[in-house]
Amino acid sequence: PSPSKDYDLMYYLKGAAAGGICCSITHGALTPVDVVKTRVQLDPVKYNSGLIGGFRQIIAEEGAMALATGLGATAAGYFIQGWFKFGGVEFFKIKAVESMGEEAAWNNKTNIYLASAAGAETIADVFLCPLEAVRIRSVSDPEFCDGLADGFSKMFKAEGVGGFYAGLAPILAKQVPYTMAKFAVQGEAADAMYKSMGKTPADLSSGTNLSVSLASGVVAGVAAAIISHPADTLLSKVNKAGAGGTGSMASRLMNIAKEVGFVNLCTVGLIPRCVMIGTLTAGQFGIFDTVMGALGASKFHFHDPNSD
């Protein structure tokens, strides 16, 4: 049977709204962690006492409000990103099943997860990139702007439209593999959990389904954090004024990578990032499922026609 009956425009809008809400809440709540992480990546010599030490240092020097730097840009940026990312993944997944048929889709579900996530993330990042540029600039230079609108106008005057998209290549390099890992690993982990129970999501209570979402989200978050960490470190550094010298984006990224060294790119700040992304991803999938339920939509799951 074609899944199109239950999955109309309203379903995609609910999926997009749930995605926007879950990303905005989780990323907004983690703004203080992100401020410390960004500072550590930008200036490891000054901020050399780890995550907790970084919190203490920033509060001592600048007051507790400094930890909320970039909150507006983060909440707005990730609402938009979540809207296109989760909404897009649902859309591409369901369209793939409609065009391939259930059996072929079930046999290729990992590839569908990967392709859906890559397509949705690329679209989402075009919208996220300007907000992320303003956020990183405001975290690295707290004097730069008073809030989101002010940051936009100052950055536009100083650098034009190009300034907002200076970080697009590294954002795509970081976010696309990260999102592909996140959705594919979460999907596979959730399917494995359902299989081990011998049940489908429809057979189980919403509480049990939520537990599966949270548990598979943690697994997916840690896998995704490890895969995307080198690009995350590069992204923090390339948005710092003057980093990597002058020249094209590719040459600047190469210069930064040489300066930092490959092992450091992969390991510096990795543990806090695994904790952060593991928590974040579990929260996202948990909130997404909860909001979808509240909106009266049941989330699409791949179906094995041979199990009927």
Q: What pLDDT digit, counting tens, does each position of 248-302 carry?
A: 767 777 888 888 787 887 787 788 888 888 988 999 999 999 999 999 888 888 8
Q: Quick one: 29 exposed, middle or buried, by C-beta within 10 A (0-12, 13-18, 19+)?
A: middle
pLDDT digits (tens, 9 = 90+) for 44-99: 888 888 778 989 999 999 999 989 887 887 888 889 999 999 999 999 999 999 99
What CA–CA distances, in Å, run from 142 to 185, 200, 278, 287? 37, 50, 28, 31
Verdict on whether the full-model pTM lies above 0.75:
yes
Q: Taking CA 250 as the corner, what is the angle to CA 124 and CA 272, rounded to the nearest 5 degrees?
A: 60
Cα–Cα distance between 269 and 20 in angstroms, integer?
27
Residue 10 CB neighbours (<10 A)? 11
Query: What is the mean predicted confidence (pLDDT) over 106-129?
Result: 94
Tens-digit pLDDT profile for residues 4-35: 567 889 999 999 999 999 999 998 998 898 88
